[in-house]
Amino acid sequence: MQHTVEGAGAGGRAEGPLAALLRGRPPMARELPSFDVGHVPDEPGPLFVDWLLQAFEADAPDAQVVTLSTVDADGRPDARMLVLRDVDVARGAWWFAADADSPKGRQLAATPWAALTVYWPAQGRQVRLRGRVETGDPRLAAADFLGRSPASRVAGLVGRQSERLQGPGELDAAWQEAAALMDADPGFVAPGHTLYGLVADEVEFWQGDRHRRHVRLAYTRHADGTWGRGLLWP
């Protein structure tokens, strides 16, 4: 069934059906976990892993998917979803993979600062991270690529991410060519496949509350590498 909802007009006009629909669906209107900030680790990495594992245990769909935010050459923000590959708990680094020649790869090469955001709706939990991004060991990147599913490797070999596609036939031909290359050389690694690590200097844990008394705990890395933490107003 297809639903059509007319949006509201410009400012000053009466509320339209879409705005009313959105306002009538308040978020967090359910029982959510509590967050005891009196018993948290000194560093953000262990707490992040704990929340991630709880999301897995609750069968949260795509719990390992995060939003990567970067800026382009004009300083305009850009964001996309991708898969978290690892967390270096001791160092406070969050790892993901991308093609160095993709828009995000080029943006990170020009401005190696980024933000990661993850949201687990069932728990009403959000984590926000900001920091400098570094490239990982090429050998680890190769191992990451070869450890992926066949379809994921074929997609990586196709490349040309975000370029204009002329039609499905063009993709089919490129896909078949990449699949043939992988079959002929199973150890072949996409040349641009790169591991990136966001070394966080700010990490915020946000626990939603149905009464809007959200709990926000922020970690900040000091110059000597240690972490400080404190609560934020909701």
Which three-class secondary structure state does DSSP give residue 206? strand
Per-residue pLDDT band at 138 (split at 50, 70, 90): very high
For residue 79, which of 102, 104, 100 has the smallest C-alpha distance? Answer: 104
pLDDT score, position 166: 84
pLDDT score, position 3: 61
Q: What is the mean pLDDT of the chain?
A: 93
2 has pLDDT over 70:
no
Per-residue pLDDT band at 11 (split at 50, 70, 90): low
Contact indicator for 89, 162 with CB cutoff of 8 Å: no
Per-residue pLDDT band at 234 (split at 50, 70, 90): very high
Where do we find the tokens 């600062």?
Answer: 113
220 has pLDDT over 60:
yes
pLDDT score, position 150: 94
DSSP string, 195-217: EEEEEEEEEEEEE--TTS--EEE
For residue 132, which of 52, 196, 78 has the smallest C-alpha distance? Answer: 196
71 has pLDDT over 90:
yes
112 has pLDDT over 60:
yes
